[in-house]
């Protein structure tokens, strides 16, 4: 495992990190086994959130991490009614503090390493978050020693060109940002990532597999083809060759689609690629991607040529 510096936090985090959004409620034993396999492989950064599985994800994660005090944990507070793009903003400093304290209880920790405002999706609600007491409450939690570093994550299906993060990063208010970057949503490559590097902000990449589901995403050749069809249907790609060709993604071989997706992320100047992994076997497959130089320049050029026009995330 290789490690990269998480911006000005100075933390050295594994370039492949574990996203704990799914699996805890379905099979807690397997969830714990996967966490332990990650730790044995050198993964030292785990992302969770108060809203994942209604808090159960954090509870099971807290159980899994007993005795592993050197693992960095990131969790999040969502100041909206839901994760939907148009959900109403309902954030309050009181709710933020309560969420952080509940996360600490579930995780069985006195302090979390990184605490994020979760899914900030419009410039208007970013402004509200910064001025309604929520940001001040994050800073107070940091001053109290309950969190070490603070940041925000975006909602890329509502802000595919990263307007929120482009405004937030230069303010100096945040130590870490969580952003979307993948084979098909590449806009962070020329917007957020250079800004984060300039301002020494840590970058945690999410959705490397494009919020994969059972039938669409960057999890297999079939699912990737379905994702391309969805981008065509959304008007973000033309309904013409090469996008309609079955061999569209053959140039990524011999990599599998998920391996290519992770390699694509790690080829950029980001800190860590955060991926959800349901089983130790999936982890073993993903570990094949942590092999510099990750992806050659010709494949990167081809990916930009094919998908660089996409401006918002489609599932």
- Give catalytic residue positions: 52
Q: Which two tokens stand for residue 291?
A: 């092999």
Distance CA 32, CA 121 (A): 32
The reply to whether omega before 293 is within 30° of 0 (cis) is yes
Q: Residue 21's Cα: distance from chain center in Å?
A: 10
Residue 36: strand, helix, or coil: helix
Contacts of 268 (CB under 8 A, 6+ apart): 181, 189, 193, 205
Q: Which stretches of 175-273 are DSSP H helices?
A: 192-199, 221-233, 257-266
Instruction: Decide: residue 26, CB within 10 A, 0-12 exposed, 13-18 middle, 19+ buried.
Output: exposed
Distance CA 315, CA 221 (A): 15
Distance CA 178, CA 170 (A): 15
Angle at 288 between CA 33 and CA 290, to 5 degrees: 100
Residue 274, beta-bridge partner list: 17
Dihedral over Cα of 88, 207, 97, 172: its sign: negative
Distance CA 25, CA 56 (A): 7
């Amino acid at each position: 495992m290789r490690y990269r510096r998480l911006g000005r936090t100075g933390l050295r985090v594994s370039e492949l990190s574990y996203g704990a959004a799914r699996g805890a409620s379905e099979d807690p034993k397997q969830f714990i086994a996967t966490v332990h396999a990650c730790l044995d492989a050198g993964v030292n950064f785990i992302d969770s959130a108060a809203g994942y599985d209604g808090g159960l994800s954090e509870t099971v994660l807290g159980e899994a991490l007993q005795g592993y005090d050197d693992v960095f944990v990131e969790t999040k507070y969502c100041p909206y009614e839901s994760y939907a793009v148009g959900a109403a903003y309902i954030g309050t400093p009181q709710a933020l503090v309560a969420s952080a304290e509940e996360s600490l209880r579930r995780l069985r920790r006195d302090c979390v390493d990184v605490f994020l405002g979760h899914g900030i999706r419009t410039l208007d609600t970013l402004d509200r978050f910064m001025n309604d007491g929520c940001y001040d409450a994050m800073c107070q939690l940091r001053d109290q020693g309950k969190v070490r570093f603070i940041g925000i994550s975006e909602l890329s299906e509502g802000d595919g060109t990263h307007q929120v993060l482009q405004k937030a990063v230069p303010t100096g208010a945040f130590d870490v940002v969580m952003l979307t970057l993948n084979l098909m949503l590449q806009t962070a490559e020329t917007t957020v990532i250079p800004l984060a590097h300039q301002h020494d902000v840590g970058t945690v990449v999410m959705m490397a597999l494009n919020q994969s589901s059972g039938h669409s995403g960057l999890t297999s050749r079939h699912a990737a083809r379905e994702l391309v069809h969805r981008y065509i249907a959304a008007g973000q790609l033309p309904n013409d060759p090469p996008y309609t060709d079955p061999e569209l993604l053959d140039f990524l071989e011999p990599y599998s689609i998920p391996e290519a997706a992770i390699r694509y992320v790690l080829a950029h100047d980001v800190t860590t690629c955060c991926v959800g992994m349901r089983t130790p076997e999936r982890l073993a497959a993903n570990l094949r991607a942590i092999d510099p130089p990750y992806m050659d320049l010709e494949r990167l050029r081809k990916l930009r040529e094919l998908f660089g026009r996409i401006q918002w995330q489609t599932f």
